[in-house]
Amino acid sequence: MENNQVELRKLGLVDYKEAWDYQENLFDQIVADKQQKRDGQIEIKTPNFLLFCEHPHVYTIGKSGKESNLLINENMLKSRGASLYKINRGGDITYHGPGQLVAYPIIDLDNFGLSIKSYIDHLEEVIIRVLKRYGIDATRSTGATGVWLDAENPVKARKICAIGVRTSHWVSMHGFAFNISTDLSYFEHIIPCGIQGKSVTSLEKEIGGKVEMEEVSNFVIEEFETVFNMKINQQ
Protein backbone atom coordinates (compact mmCIF):
# COMPACT_ATOMS: atom_id res chain seq x y z
CA MET A 1 0.00 0.00 0.00
CA GLU A 2 1.37 3.39 -0.97
CA ASN A 3 -1.16 6.03 0.08
CA ASN A 4 -4.32 5.26 2.04
CA GLN A 5 -5.23 8.93 2.57
CA VAL A 6 -8.46 9.95 0.82
CA GLU A 7 -9.82 13.47 0.47
CA LEU A 8 -13.60 13.66 0.90
CA ARG A 9 -15.46 16.40 -0.96
CA LYS A 10 -19.18 16.92 -0.35
CA LEU A 11 -20.70 18.55 -3.40
CA GLY A 12 -24.33 18.74 -2.22
CA LEU A 13 -27.05 18.77 -4.90
CA VAL A 14 -25.14 19.05 -8.17
CA ASP A 15 -25.99 18.65 -11.85
CA TYR A 16 -24.95 15.24 -13.15
CA LYS A 17 -22.79 16.57 -16.00
CA GLU A 18 -21.05 19.02 -13.67
CA ALA A 19 -20.17 16.18 -11.28
CA TRP A 20 -19.06 14.01 -14.20
CA ASP A 21 -16.68 16.72 -15.44
CA TYR A 22 -15.40 17.19 -11.90
CA GLN A 23 -14.67 13.45 -11.66
CA GLU A 24 -12.89 13.49 -15.01
CA ASN A 25 -10.57 16.28 -13.87
CA LEU A 26 -9.59 14.41 -10.69
CA PHE A 27 -9.24 11.16 -12.63
CA ASP A 28 -6.95 12.80 -15.19
CA GLN A 29 -4.85 14.27 -12.38
CA ILE A 30 -4.27 10.86 -10.78
CA VAL A 31 -3.54 9.15 -14.11
CA ALA A 32 -1.03 11.89 -15.03
CA ASP A 33 0.70 11.52 -11.66
CA LYS A 34 0.88 7.74 -12.12
CA GLN A 35 2.39 8.16 -15.57
CA GLN A 36 5.08 10.56 -14.35
CA LYS A 37 5.80 8.30 -11.43
CA ARG A 38 6.07 5.29 -13.73
CA ASP A 39 8.44 7.21 -16.00
CA GLY A 40 10.62 8.09 -13.01
CA GLN A 41 9.98 11.81 -13.43
CA ILE A 42 8.58 12.34 -9.93
CA GLU A 43 8.47 10.49 -6.63
CA ILE A 44 5.07 11.22 -5.14
CA LYS A 45 2.16 9.33 -3.72
CA THR A 46 -0.82 9.43 -6.04
CA PRO A 47 -3.84 11.13 -4.43
CA ASN A 48 -7.27 9.61 -3.79
CA PHE A 49 -10.63 11.37 -3.70
CA LEU A 50 -14.14 10.51 -2.56
CA LEU A 51 -17.07 12.64 -3.74
CA PHE A 52 -20.47 12.62 -2.04
CA CYS A 53 -23.44 14.28 -3.73
CA GLU A 54 -27.06 14.15 -4.77
CA HIS A 55 -28.31 14.80 -8.29
CA PRO A 56 -31.44 16.36 -9.79
CA HIS A 57 -33.58 13.74 -11.52
CA VAL A 58 -31.46 12.01 -14.16
CA TYR A 59 -31.19 8.67 -15.95
CA THR A 60 -27.79 7.35 -17.01
CA ILE A 61 -27.00 4.52 -19.41
CA GLY A 62 -23.66 2.71 -19.16
CA LYS A 63 -21.50 1.39 -21.99
CA SER A 64 -23.33 -1.93 -22.15
CA GLY A 65 -26.76 -0.38 -21.64
CA LYS A 66 -29.75 -0.49 -23.95
CA GLU A 67 -31.97 2.52 -24.60
CA SER A 68 -34.90 0.09 -24.75
CA ASN A 69 -34.57 -0.19 -20.96
CA LEU A 70 -35.79 3.41 -20.75
CA LEU A 71 -39.57 3.06 -20.90
CA ILE A 72 -40.56 6.68 -21.55
CA ASN A 73 -39.91 9.06 -24.43
CA GLU A 74 -38.15 12.42 -24.43
CA ASN A 75 -41.35 14.41 -23.83
CA MET A 76 -42.23 12.30 -20.80
CA LEU A 77 -38.68 12.73 -19.51
CA LYS A 78 -39.11 16.49 -19.66
CA SER A 79 -42.52 16.33 -18.00
CA ARG A 80 -40.92 14.56 -15.05
CA GLY A 81 -38.08 17.07 -14.92
CA ALA A 82 -35.49 14.43 -15.74
CA SER A 83 -32.50 14.35 -18.08
CA LEU A 84 -30.66 11.48 -19.79
CA TYR A 85 -26.93 10.81 -20.23
CA LYS A 86 -24.99 8.04 -21.94
CA ILE A 87 -21.81 7.57 -19.94
CA ASN A 88 -18.57 5.60 -19.80
CA ARG A 89 -19.17 3.43 -16.76
CA GLY A 90 -20.05 -0.25 -16.77
CA GLY A 91 -23.61 -1.42 -16.30
CA ASP A 92 -26.94 -0.59 -17.87
CA ILE A 93 -29.49 2.09 -16.99
CA THR A 94 -30.09 3.60 -13.58
CA TYR A 95 -31.73 6.62 -11.98
CA HIS A 96 -30.26 9.32 -9.76
CA GLY A 97 -32.25 11.89 -7.85
CA PRO A 98 -32.74 13.78 -4.58
CA GLY A 99 -32.73 11.58 -1.48
CA GLN A 100 -30.11 9.28 -2.95
CA LEU A 101 -26.55 9.25 -1.63
CA VAL A 102 -24.24 9.10 -4.64
CA ALA A 103 -20.59 8.32 -3.96
CA TYR A 104 -17.81 8.66 -6.52
CA PRO A 105 -14.47 7.23 -5.37
CA ILE A 106 -11.71 8.45 -7.67
CA ILE A 107 -8.90 6.39 -6.23
CA ASP A 108 -5.70 4.70 -7.34
CA LEU A 109 -6.50 1.02 -6.83
CA ASP A 110 -2.77 0.32 -6.60
CA ASN A 111 -2.75 2.33 -3.38
CA PHE A 112 -5.05 -0.26 -1.82
CA GLY A 113 -3.85 -3.42 -3.55
CA LEU A 114 -7.22 -3.96 -5.22
CA SER A 115 -8.27 -5.72 -8.40
CA ILE A 116 -11.35 -4.41 -10.16
CA LYS A 117 -13.45 -7.30 -8.84
CA SER A 118 -12.26 -6.83 -5.27
CA TYR A 119 -12.88 -3.09 -5.57
CA ILE A 120 -16.53 -3.68 -6.49
CA ASP A 121 -16.81 -6.27 -3.69
CA HIS A 122 -15.48 -3.66 -1.26
CA LEU A 123 -18.06 -1.09 -2.40
CA GLU A 124 -20.84 -3.61 -1.88
CA GLU A 125 -19.46 -4.52 1.54
CA VAL A 126 -19.53 -0.87 2.64
CA ILE A 127 -23.27 -0.63 1.95
CA ILE A 128 -24.03 -4.06 3.41
CA ARG A 129 -22.36 -3.00 6.67
CA VAL A 130 -24.19 0.36 6.76
CA LEU A 131 -27.54 -1.37 6.29
CA LYS A 132 -26.73 -3.78 9.10
CA ARG A 133 -26.56 -0.75 11.42
CA TYR A 134 -30.25 -0.22 10.62
CA GLY A 135 -31.14 -3.85 11.22
CA ILE A 136 -31.35 -4.68 7.52
CA ASP A 137 -29.82 -7.91 6.24
CA ALA A 138 -28.57 -7.03 2.76
CA THR A 139 -26.51 -9.20 0.42
CA ARG A 140 -25.02 -9.44 -3.03
CA SER A 141 -27.00 -11.03 -5.86
CA THR A 142 -25.54 -13.83 -7.97
CA GLY A 143 -24.64 -12.50 -11.39
CA ALA A 144 -25.52 -8.87 -10.63
CA THR A 145 -23.67 -5.99 -9.03
CA GLY A 146 -25.11 -3.80 -6.31
CA VAL A 147 -26.67 -4.47 -2.93
CA TRP A 148 -29.94 -6.34 -2.61
CA LEU A 149 -32.55 -7.46 -0.11
CA ASP A 150 -33.96 -10.98 -0.41
CA ALA A 151 -31.63 -11.32 -3.38
CA GLU A 152 -32.31 -14.97 -4.13
CA ASN A 153 -36.09 -14.74 -3.74
CA PRO A 154 -37.54 -14.12 -7.22
CA VAL A 155 -40.69 -12.58 -5.76
CA LYS A 156 -39.20 -10.35 -3.05
CA ALA A 157 -35.79 -9.43 -4.52
CA ARG A 158 -35.21 -5.66 -4.53
CA LYS A 159 -32.17 -3.46 -5.04
CA ILE A 160 -31.28 -0.72 -2.59
CA CYS A 161 -27.91 0.34 -4.01
CA ALA A 162 -26.73 0.37 -7.63
CA ILE A 163 -23.05 0.17 -8.52
CA GLY A 164 -21.43 1.13 -11.81
CA VAL A 165 -17.74 1.87 -12.16
CA ARG A 166 -15.12 2.69 -14.75
CA THR A 167 -11.43 1.98 -14.28
CA SER A 168 -8.45 2.89 -16.42
CA HIS A 169 -4.78 2.68 -15.46
CA TRP A 170 -6.14 1.15 -12.21
CA VAL A 171 -7.85 4.42 -11.31
CA SER A 172 -11.59 4.35 -10.56
CA MET A 173 -14.49 6.60 -11.56
CA HIS A 174 -18.23 6.64 -10.96
CA GLY A 175 -19.35 4.50 -8.00
CA PHE A 176 -22.64 3.79 -6.25
CA ALA A 177 -26.11 5.24 -5.75
CA PHE A 178 -27.66 4.36 -2.38
CA ASN A 179 -31.41 4.96 -2.05
CA ILE A 180 -32.14 6.71 1.24
CA SER A 181 -35.35 8.73 0.83
CA THR A 182 -35.51 8.46 -2.96
CA ASP A 183 -38.77 8.97 -4.89
CA LEU A 184 -39.01 5.39 -6.13
CA SER A 185 -41.67 6.24 -8.72
CA TYR A 186 -38.88 7.37 -11.07
CA PHE A 187 -37.67 3.78 -11.27
CA GLU A 188 -41.01 2.81 -12.84
CA HIS A 189 -39.81 4.41 -16.08
CA ILE A 190 -36.83 2.09 -16.52
CA ILE A 191 -35.82 -1.55 -16.29
CA PRO A 192 -33.27 -0.94 -13.52
CA CYS A 193 -29.82 -2.16 -14.55
CA GLY A 194 -31.54 -4.04 -17.38
CA ILE A 195 -32.85 -6.71 -15.01
CA GLN A 196 -36.48 -7.70 -15.54
CA GLY A 197 -38.76 -8.60 -12.67
CA LYS A 198 -36.81 -7.18 -9.74
CA SER A 199 -37.87 -4.07 -7.90
CA VAL A 200 -36.10 -1.20 -6.16
CA THR A 201 -36.35 -0.02 -2.57
CA SER A 202 -34.97 2.62 -0.21
CA LEU A 203 -33.67 2.74 3.33
CA GLU A 204 -36.65 4.78 4.55
CA LYS A 205 -39.12 2.41 2.92
CA GLU A 206 -37.48 -0.59 4.56
CA ILE A 207 -37.39 0.82 8.08
CA GLY A 208 -40.70 2.69 7.77
CA GLY A 209 -39.35 6.01 9.00
CA LYS A 210 -37.24 9.05 8.30
CA VAL A 211 -33.45 8.92 8.10
CA GLU A 212 -31.06 11.87 8.02
CA MET A 213 -28.78 11.88 4.99
CA GLU A 214 -25.94 13.23 7.14
CA GLU A 215 -26.21 10.28 9.50
CA VAL A 216 -26.08 7.78 6.64
CA SER A 217 -23.16 9.65 5.07
CA ASN A 218 -21.19 9.45 8.32
CA PHE A 219 -21.84 5.70 8.56
CA VAL A 220 -20.67 5.27 4.96
CA ILE A 221 -17.46 7.17 5.75
CA GLU A 222 -16.77 4.96 8.76
CA GLU A 223 -17.36 1.77 6.78
CA PHE A 224 -15.21 2.98 3.88
CA GLU A 225 -12.36 3.46 6.33
CA THR A 226 -12.85 -0.01 7.80
CA VAL A 227 -13.44 -1.99 4.61
CA PHE A 228 -10.79 -0.28 2.45
CA ASN A 229 -8.33 0.41 5.28
CA MET A 230 -8.31 4.07 4.23
CA LYS A 231 -8.10 7.31 6.15
CA ILE A 232 -10.72 9.81 4.96
CA ASN A 233 -9.96 13.48 5.42
CA GLN A 234 -12.86 15.90 5.16
CA GLN A 235 -12.47 19.39 3.75
CATH architecture of 5-234: 2-Layer Sandwich (3.30)
156 pLDDT more than 80: yes
225 pLDDT more than 60: yes
Mean pLDDT over the full length of the chain: 89
Assign 40 a pLDDT band (cuts: 50, 70, 90): low
Q: What is the mean pLDDT of residues 41-45?
A: 73
Top pLDDT among 195 and 119 is at: 119
Looking at residue 64, its pLDDT comes to 66
The set of catalytic residues is 193
Top pLDDT among 78 and 209 is at: 209
**DSSP code per residue over the chain:** ----EEEEEEEEE--HHHHHHHHHHHHHHHHHHHHHHHTTS---PPP-EEEEEE-SSEEEE-TT--GGGB-S-HHHHHHTT-EEEE-SSSSSEEEE-TTEEEEEEE-BGGGGT--HHHHHHHHHHHHHHHHHHTT---EEETTEEEEEESTT-TTT-EEEEEEEEEEETTEEEEEEEEESS--GGGGGGB-GGG-TT-EE--HHHHHTS---HHHHHHHHHHHHHHHHT-EEEE-
Looking at residue 86, its pLDDT comes to 79
218 pLDDT more than 90: yes
Return the minimum-mean-pLDDT range out of 7-11, 37-41, 225-229.
37-41
Assign 87 a pLDDT band (cuts: 50, 70, 90): confident
Looking at residue 60, its pLDDT comes to 84
Alpha-carbon distance of 121 to 94, in angstroms, equals 19
Record the pTM: 0.90
Alpha-carbon distance of 226 to 158, in angstroms, equals 26
Instruction: Summarize pLDDT for 180-214 with one digit per residue, the tens.
Output: 999 999 888 877 554 555 689 999 999 999 999 99
Alpha-carbon distance of 36 to 5, in angstroms, equals 20
